[in-house]
């Protein structure tokens, strides 16, 4: 699977964009079984990385007093629930096709989330930074 990252996804907040790119990169690896080692490790790594990214983004929202913080956080929480559900499916069944489903979940969700919610926050955030 070719990377779905493209310039249209940039929020122009460097810290956020770097994390997004890395998440897409990991999803690409996940989608190609010849590229990843143990699936359990890969899922754990990706899960932790996504949580770290959400926390950073939420921290920026809190410190910049973003009025839609609560709402934005709900999307993150909902995503993590789906992610966990898939993780559970894998540990219950050992079904490796979960890797592809997971890659699709991550890229599809993230793409939509970035285009609407992250971009909205990013433009607010940039407006609060005085240079």
Q: Which stretch binds Fe ion (CB under 5 A): 38-46, 58-66, 111-119, 122-130?
A: 111-119
Sign of CA pseudo-dihedral 71, 76, 82, 84: negative
**48-82: burial string, b at 16+ Cβ within 10 Å, e else:** eebeebbeebbebbeeeebeebeebeebbeebeee
Q: Which stretch binds Fe ion (CB under 5 A): 35-43, 45-53, 97-105, 118-126?
A: 118-126
Over the window 21 to 60, marking each residue x when it contacts Fe ion by CB under 5 A and - when it does not, the resulting string is ------------------------------------x---
Answer yes or no: are the C-beta atoms of 76 and 54 closer than 8 Å.
Answer: yes
What does the alpha-carbon distance between residue 40 and residue 25 come to, in Å, rounded to a whole number? 17
Which residue in the shown chain puts its C-beta closest to Fe ion? Answer: 118
Size of the site for Fe ion (CB under 5 A): 2
Binding flag, residue 118, Fe ion (CB under 5 A): yes
Nearer to Fe ion, 28 or 57 (CB): 57
**Six-digit token pair at 46?**
């990706």
Q: Which residues bind Fe ion (CB under 5 A)?
A: 57, 118
């Amino acid at each position: 699977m070719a990377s779905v990252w493209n310039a249209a996804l940039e929020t122009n907040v460097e810290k956020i964009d770097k994390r997004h790119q890395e998440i897409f990169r990991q999803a690409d690896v996940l989608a190609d079984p010849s590229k990843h080692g143990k699936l359990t490790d890969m899922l754990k790594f990706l899960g932790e990385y996504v949580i770290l990214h959400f926390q950073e983004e939420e921290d920026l929202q809190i410190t910049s007093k973003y009025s839609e913080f609560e709402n934005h956080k709900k999307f993150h929480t909902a995503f993590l629930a789906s992610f966990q559900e898939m993780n559970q499916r894998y540990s219950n069944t050992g079904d490796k096709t979960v890797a592809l489903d997971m890659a699709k979940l991550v890229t599809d969700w993230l793409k939509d989330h970035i285009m609407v919610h992250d971009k909205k926050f990013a433009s607010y955030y940039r407006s609060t930074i005085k240079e």
